[in-house]
Amino acid sequence: MCRARTCGIFGPPIRLIDRLIVVLTAYLGIAAGKTHGTKTYIVQMAKSEMPASFSHHLNWYASLVELSTSSGTHGEKQRIIYSYEHAFNGFAVRLSEEEAEQFEAYSGVVNILPETAYHLHTTRSPVFLGIESVSGTSVVSPAIAEYDVIVGVLDTGIWPESLSFSDRGMAPVPVRWKGACETGRGFNRSNCNRKIVGARIFYRGYEAAVGAIDEKAEFKSPRDQDGHGTHTAATVAGAPVNGANLFGYATGTARGMAPSARIASYKVCWTGGCFSSDILAAVDQAVADGVDVLSISLGGGVSSYYRDSLSIASFGAMERGVFVACSAGNGGPDPISLTNVSPWIATIGASTMDRDFPATVRLGNGVHLTGVSLYKGQRNLSPQRQYSLVYMGANHTNPDPRSLCLEGTLDPRVVAGKIVVCDRGINPRVQKGQVVKQAGGVGMILTNTPANGEELVADSHLLPALAVGETAGKAIKHYTLTTSHATATLTFEGTKVGIRPSPVIAAFSSRGPNFLTLEILKPDMVAPGVNILAAWSGNASPSSLTVDLRRVSFNILSGTSMSCPHVGGIAALIKARHPDWSPAAIKSALMTTAYVHDNSMQVLKDAATAGPSTPYDHGAGHIHPLKALDPGLVYDITPDDYLEFLCTQKLTQTQLKVFTKSSNSSCKHSLASAADLNYPSISVVIPDADGSTMTVRRTVTNVGPPNSKYHVKVSPPKGAEVVVEPINLQFSRRYQKLSYTVSFRTKAAQASPEFGALIWRDQTHSVRSSIAMTWLPQS
């Protein structure tokens, strides 16, 4: 009989190599808590350089750890916590700084990375994206839905009882699947099914950094008590659930982007955060298990490609044919705030949909201002009555602790019985309302600051409350501060669709340019990430506050964490239609078919400024799933092409080995610059002298009809002349490749980046590439 964590979901006991890992890691004493004076390091090894005296690489790793700790400084040799062997070769180990420095000199050691903390980047979207009709009927071919695609989700786990994870009508799990259903408190093998085909946990790095998980307070199992992982998994591939809603808001059929795809849950995030050694172990295992797509809604800071563990692991996954989607981050609207910028990763920003949850402030002076809210409670305010209104800030432009409604800052004698105006920032939005409620306030108006602009994010508040944009917020605060007896009331208007303009780029969505490589335009694309309805953990409140005792089956969240699984799910659909396509081809299809105009036919707007967005905000544009299934042409990129790109980044031979995994690989210098990588977008950096020139090359693969003729149209960036040669591409067969060049000449150098587009069109397809042009001052 199979024991916990030793069986595939419906498969045989673990293989001999897995038994060896179990035996060796037991011998090496996997750490269950902190080791004094040490921290976790990820050691990447050149597996091909293992001495012949070792029968297995695990024995080799163990000998190096033993050698580094032979002085007995800490009195222990048993510190390996993970071994990696699929997307990455190496291990994670507890070392002191001195021991880590010593490791760098050992033969076979390619790279040593310190443990890094990552953070989570926290239903109408199928209709809005065009993959489901208004009547609820899928417009995607059943032949696609029947193909077995498996999406791995790295997050906080999964709540298996959700109806979104029903396997009703699904075929048996593919025999190729090698994953497992690990068990633990609150999670049994029966919690996996034909929808949830795998569920694993990764916690050794977390425990080594933070301490042992309190198993009474936290599920040390795949069960999700946070809700974030359940929400993202359901967004990727949730089964249709009729009547889904949050307190009556957004009522309809909730379904994932690829509702017939399988889900493999990899729990890497815990109460105290997510750690790189666990994330790396999860990616490594997911590749071995056989996932087709990885959806990773988390990120850390930006490091050089060879110092970023997620970048390195994603490269290994890409080499094995796995499409990797990562959230861009919630650092917007600040520029250069992106995370997960490697070109082999699909970096996803967030945008709104055409659905909203309007609520209205009616001031005592008769002015009506519109905001948003998901409030549904018994403590409603009467629309016929005006309530005293108070703002604790000194002025309407500069927030202070009281205006931010931080814990302990509100005087009950001042706010009791009143509606309180609170500035957004510092503490969670819903928590501000709880602070008001505890002080005796009867309602809250949450006002945006310049950092959030006109972006409106709806929340399930604990008292009557709504959020308004910066402009409305200033008007409300001005009225409150200049009127002796300011009053207001709040009304809540439910759910409305058909909102214009939409989509709009979310203010929180992280922005480019790509700090590491200007020639790689990031983010890659945007997808719905504001007010997204999806399944939720039965253990968590909708506000995630401990004082909130409400429990819901579905929740509405915002963040690039929500946009990322939209793309992961659409990638699964494309993989189903085109199982032989590479990750780069799938990403190309998503990017070149994306659109850059909203439903009012204007350029996509930026919620932070209310003005037009740029490719540094929206990348290639907003995803268009149906067109992505039939893009006409794709820009394909092989692993060797990515290695040549890395050769343009001035990596040393040792640093390049982080990706080549071999000492025999060397640069062919086939790319003149990073801009020559066959990326679906084009970004060039050119001297600011008038008349300066630069030429880049691209190759497209015909994935449409055999006999196709495309003609190019160019919208040049301001200050530049752009020439494409040839201007026509004539294809005679499917999968034929043709190349073209794009030459840029400066007519009048600009002080800031400028943008344009290049579009190849035939009678059916429009294949669009965003263009960014940056002028580099000459020394």
Question: Residue 511, exposed/middle/buried by CB under 10 A (0-12, 13-18, 19+)?
Answer: buried
**Strands across the sheet with 90-95, in order?**
80-84, 90-95, 39-45, 109-114
Nearest to residue 419, comparing CAs of 381, 453, 454? 381
Distance CA 524, CA 615 (A): 9
Which secondary structure element, helix H or strand E, spans residue 656, and what is its range? Answer: helix 653-660
Active site (annotated) includes residue 561: yes
Active site (annotated) includes residue 155: yes
Distance CA 573, CA 257 (A): 8
Contacts of 225 (CB under 8 A, 6+ apart): 156, 157, 218, 219, 537, 539, 540
Active site (annotated) includes residue 690: no
What is the token pair recorded at 357? 């949850």
Catalytic residue among 121, 228, 231, 578: 228
Beta strands in 236-276 (DSSP E): 241-246, 249-254, 262-267, 269-270, 273-275
Catalytic residue among 125, 148, 155, 278: 155
Q: Widest CA span of the chain, in angstroms?
A: 86
How would you write 396-453 as a 3-class SS string? Answer: CCCCCCCCCCCCCCCCHHHHCCCEEEEECECECHHHHHHHHHHCCCCEEEEECCCCCC
The torsion region of residue 559 among left (phi > 0), alpha (psi -120 to 50) and beta comes to: left
Distance CA 304, CA 58 (A): 28
Contact 593, 525 (CB under 8 A): no
What is the token pair recorded at 617? 């905000």
Distance CA 598, CA 622 (A): 9
Helices (H), 111-239: 125-129, 142-145, 204-210, 228-237
Report strand pairing: 39-45 vs 90-95.
Answer: antiparallel
> Across-strand partners of 467?
372, 446
Distance CA 177, CA 320 (A): 15
Nearest to residue 700, comparing CAs of 688, 682, 718? 682
Q: What share of the chain is helix, strand, coil (3-state, %, to 5)?
A: 25, 30, 50
What phi, psi does 81 have (nearest 5°)? -115, -20
Count Cβ neighbours within 10 Å for each residue of 193-229 and write b for 16 or more, e otherwise: bbbbbbbbbbbbbbbbbbeebeeeebbbbbbbbbbbb
What phi, psi does 188 have (nearest 5°)? -110, 170
CA distances from 529 to 331, 411, 457, 616 (A): 14, 36, 10, 17
What is the token pair recorded at 713? 């149209």
Catalytic residue among 502, 510, 561, 582: 561
What is the token pair recorded at 163? 């109806």
Catalytic residues: 155, 228, 561
